[in-house]
Amino acid sequence: MGLRTVKQYKESLKDGREVYMYGEKVKDVTTHRALKTCVDTMALDYEAAELPKYKDLAIVFDPELGEEVSRYYYIPKTGEDLLKATDLIIEFTAYADGYIPLAKDIGADALNAIQITANMIGNKDYIDRINNFRKYLMKEDTAIVSAVTDVKGDRLLRPSDPKQVHPDFYVRVVDKNSKGIIVRGAKMHITGAAYSNEIFAIPCRAMTEQDKDYAVAFAIPCNTKGLKQICRPVKSEIGPMEFPCPRPLRMHTDSLIIFDDVLVPWERVFLCGEWQHAGLIALHFGLLHRRTGCAYRIPISEMFVGMAYAIAEYNGVLNVPHIREKLTDAAMYLQTLKALTRSACLDYVMHGGMPVPNPVTTNIGKYHFADKYHDLVKVIQDISGGSLITKPTYQDWQNPETHEYMKKYLSGKSGIPAEHRLRMYDLIRRWLASEYEVMVLHGEGSLMTQRMTILAEAKEELLRCKKIAEDIAGINP
Ligand SMILES: Cc1cc2nc3c(=O)[nH]c(=O)nc-3n(C[C@H](O)[C@H](O)[C@H](O)COP(=O)(O)OP(=O)(O)OC[C@H]3O[C@@H](n4cnc5c(N)ncnc54)[C@H](O)[C@@H]3O)c2cc1C
């Protein structure tokens, strides 16, 4: 079949899958009021791949199949290949205005983790099965996500521990027959699963011999009998209080996936009982997926840094010393993430015959963006000021009785129309502003006002301390 179109992707989702959201069973995910936004977001992976400017990045000629295939499913052979796969994620996330399209990237992480593990343990059956499955993904250009995180029950107890309230907190094999294995359990937070074609399920941790029924990895179509998904709520459209935007809102939801005695055919089983190797799949998925995470955080962080710069400029405070310092921190956050992501690819290690992004650098990259993220948010909220949460709405902008007041009083620096400031506030608020966080920062005055007051009021005390130091240094006679 070759590379898919957006239309083919959307048609493929009308397959009788069992999905629930907002207390109802979803008839068709492509037309559902909330899920259609998510479907459109995932479809961007197919849409962007059709654009000539992304062709070299998105598509690779596979000599074995003799056809062009998605780079997501192409086996990387060098650090350059890793870098191109990373650039693909960065470009497509930028194309989706900071939302990861997600049709194939997380699935590809599980695909490669399974392949590396099969190669490392040298199991020919599993190597053949994953090779065949890869060819199927390449030929059909299938969307696939990864279900790794089990619901887990008591976190301190092993999956098979009899003290767990029941034995199904981690997905496990409950039966086997000539056709395949029967699995039961539940995975949680699985992004994009409601509008993917397939799901990889792999262990989320190392297993012991007692846990061997939980050492299972497989792939199944989303409409498999017994597979049920319950989605979390999403903001699926720009509401009436925000300025309408010509660029549609992008969004994903995550599913609680229940495997209610699901039959998985043998040819789709990639681990079954080999408890010693469960941790290897989980480890490699983590490594590959953290590189993916670093990649898609780059365009999102670019947007955040842009928000900080724009609102500083609109408010006329761009050249204030403490704002310049904060923008410097924001620039360092972004550049560190970019450098770590890139160097992790080039400084790769070989596992199971496949290049893997440098494990230490990748984990530092993921740690950096997550650990310092709240500092960046604080910078943006601080620069924005309290208007971020107290400004009137678009509905008031449209009301002739209040429009002119807003236009006059809510503009910023000369030349910056009120509408630009208000639109930027809408964007920042949509992504980053919890009302309470902003209230804490700006209620009773911004952080810098306290610092300035502290310095002024503590002057006498500082001079007294200076004298103490000078006395001890022998400066004052
Ligand atoms: C928006 C979103 C999207 C996601 N998408 C996916 C996806 O597509 N696929 C997927 O598989 N997963 C996905 N995840 C899941 C993600 O990987 C998990 O949330 C993460 O691994 C943490 O697991 P948890 O949420 O069960 O938290 P918990 O495991 O409950 O952790 C909560 C806290 O308890 C601590 N803790 C837990 N167990 C122990 C222990 N044994 N000893 C000491 N401390 C412990 C943790 O360190 C942490 O501080 C997603 C999560 C989110 C929020």
Q: Decide: 156 in ligand 1 pocket, CB within 6 A.
A: yes
Name the closest-CA residue to atom 32, ligand 1.
155
Chain position carrying tokens 């849409």: 47
* Nearest protein Cα to ligand 1, atom 23: 149
| Average pLDDT of the residues in 145-173 | 98
Percent of the chain with pLDDT over 70: 100
The residue whose CA is least distant from atom 2 of ligand 1 is: 189
Retrieve residue 104's tokens. 């194939």
Domains for the chain: give ranges and CATH numbers: 6-289 (2.40.110.10), 290-452 (1.20.140.10)
Distance 149 CA to ligand 1 centre (A): 7
Task: Report H helices in 32-159.
Answer: 35-49, 55-58, 79-95, 105-121, 124-140
Confidence of residue 457 (pLDDT cuts 50, 70, 90): very high
Which of 150, 155, 205, when mutated, tests ligand 1's pocket best, judged by the most ligand atoms within 8 Å of its CB? 155
Q: 289 alpha carbon to ligand 1 midpoint, in Å?
A: 14
The burial class, CB within 10 Å (0-12 / 13-18 / 19+), for 17 is buried
Computed over every residue of the chain, the mean pLDDT equals: 96
Pocket of ligand 1 contains residue 146 by CB under 6 Å:
yes
Angle between helical axes of 373-384 and 435-442 (0-180°, round to 10): 60
- Our answer on whether the CB atom of 428 is closer than 6 Å to any ligand 1 atom is no
* Residue found by looking up tokens 């229940």 in the block: 258
Whether residue 189 has its Cβ less than 6 Å from ligand 1: yes
Q: What is the pLDDT of residue 476?
A: 81
Taking only the tens place, the pLDDT of each residue in 282-319 is 999 999 999 999 999 999 999 999 999 999 999 999 99
Q: Using CA atoms, how far apart are residues 187 and 98, in angstroms rounded to an integer?
A: 26
Confidence band (pLDDT; 50, 70, 90) for 1? Answer: low
In terms of Cβ atoms closer than 10 Å to its own Cβ (0-12, 13-18, 19+), residue 233 is: exposed
